[in-house]
Amino acid sequence: MTDEKSEPSNFKVVDRRSFGSDGTPREIPPGEAKAPETRPQPAAAGAERAGREMEEDFAEGPTGFDTLVSYLSTTAMFQLGLLPGPGGEPIPVDLVNARRTIDLLEILQQKTRGNLTPNEAKLLDDVLYDLRLTYVEMTKRLARKPK
């Protein structure tokens, strides 16, 4: 059942999409300029470097391999409960999906072996090393918790 209120609501919906309902680009009035994106700071050293490089790639132009590695590593860190949610609230640990995300990075490493620049290969190695250690540590920590 719905509760009908006789008081007017102060809730306002603003359409910030860059395209119209027919799919054509629309002009965005100056007052509706898109707010700059904020990104959480990664906790692990390799992932931290990936985050910095992702910021540089984002500012410089198209996304690349570093951005993909950073995206996946940040996702794994969220799943491991290392980063807070959008409102600063803690995110519950999800070891199953964290393991899947780490596995995706490992597949990426295997499939791109020999085709990466030395910097890209080192970035991927560092991120995987940090995430694997963190995963093992988190698994041990959760196993010790009384239920």
Which residue's structure tokens are 């395209």? 19
pLDDT tens column, 94-141: 999 999 999 999 999 999 999 999 999 999 999 999 999 999 999 999
104 found inside a domain:
yes
Counted domains in the chain: 1
The first and second tokens of residue 143, run together, are 């196993």
58 found inside a domain:
yes
14 found inside a domain:
no
What pLDDT shows up at residue 85? 83
30 found inside a domain:
no
CA dist 117 and 99 (Å) reads: 26
CA dist 73 and 51 (Å) reads: 9
CA dist 18 and 41 (Å) reads: 28
12 found inside a domain:
no
The arithmetic mean of pLDDT across residues 45-55, rounded, is: 58
What pLDDT shows up at residue 42? 44
CB 38 within 8 A of CB 51: no
Higher pLDDT pick, 135 / 50: 135
What pLDDT shows up at residue 110? 96
State pTM to two decimals.
Answer: 0.57
24 found inside a domain:
no
pLDDT tens column, 60-96: 556 789 999 999 999 999 999 999 888 888 889 999 9
Q: Residue 113 is part of which domain span?
A: 40-144
28 found inside a domain:
no
What are the DSSP calls for the chain, one per residue? Answer: -PPP-SSPP--------SB-TTS-B-PPPGGGPPPPP--PPPSSHHHHHHHHHHHHHHHHSS--HHHHHHHHHHHHHHHTT-S--TTSPPPPP-HHHHHHHHHHHHHHHHHHTTSS-HHHHHHHHHHHHHHHHHHHHHHHHHHHS--
Give me the CATH number covering residue 91. Answer: 1.20.1270
The first and second tokens of residue 48, run together, are 């931290």
85 found inside a domain:
yes
Higher pLDDT pick, 140 / 27: 140
What pLDDT shows up at residue 145? 75
What pLDDT shows up at residue 6? 63
